[in-house]
Amino acid sequence: MTRSMLLSALALTALLWQPSAAQQGATHTPIDITKLGPQVGQLVPDFSLKAQDGKTWTRQSILGRRGAMLVFFRSADW
């Protein structure tokens, strides 16, 4: 390993070992989850969404005898 490669590796290691903002005593603002959308147990409004295969799904079409669980997943690929 050359000296410049060793110095680069040491500099990178030093950068990675820096304390995060939370560790440096920074404060964060609490998130009000009541403003993020429907809450657990709350009825969602009627909707109509088209799936990739062309089938249309509505709130009524996914409800079962015991209700339904909607999960929203945000992908970095979208």
Q: Which of 68, 78, 35, 72 has the alpha carbon at shortest distance from 58?
A: 68
Q: Average pLDDT over the chain, rounded to whole?
A: 77
**SS3 state at 67:** strand
pLDDT along the chain (78 residues), means of 10: 68 64 69 80 86 92 86 70
H/E stretch holding 77 reads none
Total domains in the fold of the chain: 1
Q: How far is 37 from 15, CA to CA, in rounded Å?
A: 38
16 located within any domain: no
5 located within any domain: no
2 located within any domain: no
pTM comes to 0.41
Return the percent helix, strand and coil in the chain, to nearest 5.
25, 10, 65
Q: Looking at residue 37, what is its pLDDT?
A: 75
